[in-house]
Amino acid sequence: MNIIKIIFVERLLFDGEVKESLERSFKRSGIKVSYYDGYILGFEKTNVYSITPHRLVFSKNEYNLLVLYYDEYHETDELFLVDEEKYTLQGIKRYVRNYFISKTSNKPTKDSTKNNTKRPKIGL
């Protein structure tokens, strides 16, 4: 059995302009963005490389959303993936905003969880 060894790991730095654009878009809405750099793996005695995309984790309240970002290492620049669907930068901003709006609108509010039965009026 031949074992193929990894001969190098190259860290891919997250694009600063994309990062800045995302920060500006979600700053007011309370959505936090965490960035995790991708990397390239090279294998011994082969011309095969493996690209691990950047990962973005969007968080608000107790909800999290994982997005993969391929930047220039994919045939279409700035490719974002969520649940096997492809998005551009503008498309992913819209998707993330709508995702958190739908999650928070389905959450019961404090007022809706109270007993809302009306008491009968007593008096003259």
Contact 68, 55 (CB under 8 A): yes
Instruction: Please give the structure tokens belonging to residue 47.
Output: 């011309």
Where do the domains of the chain lie? 6-104
Contact 69, 55 (CB under 8 A): yes
Contact 33, 50 (CB under 8 A): no
Q: Which of 40-49, 81-90, 99-108, 112-121 has the lowest mean pLDDT?
A: 112-121
Helix (H, G, I), strand (E, B) or coil at 114: coil
**Strand duo 32-36 + 49-52: pairing:** unpaired
- Provide mean pLDDT across the span 47-68: 93
Query: pTM score, two decimals?
Result: 0.75
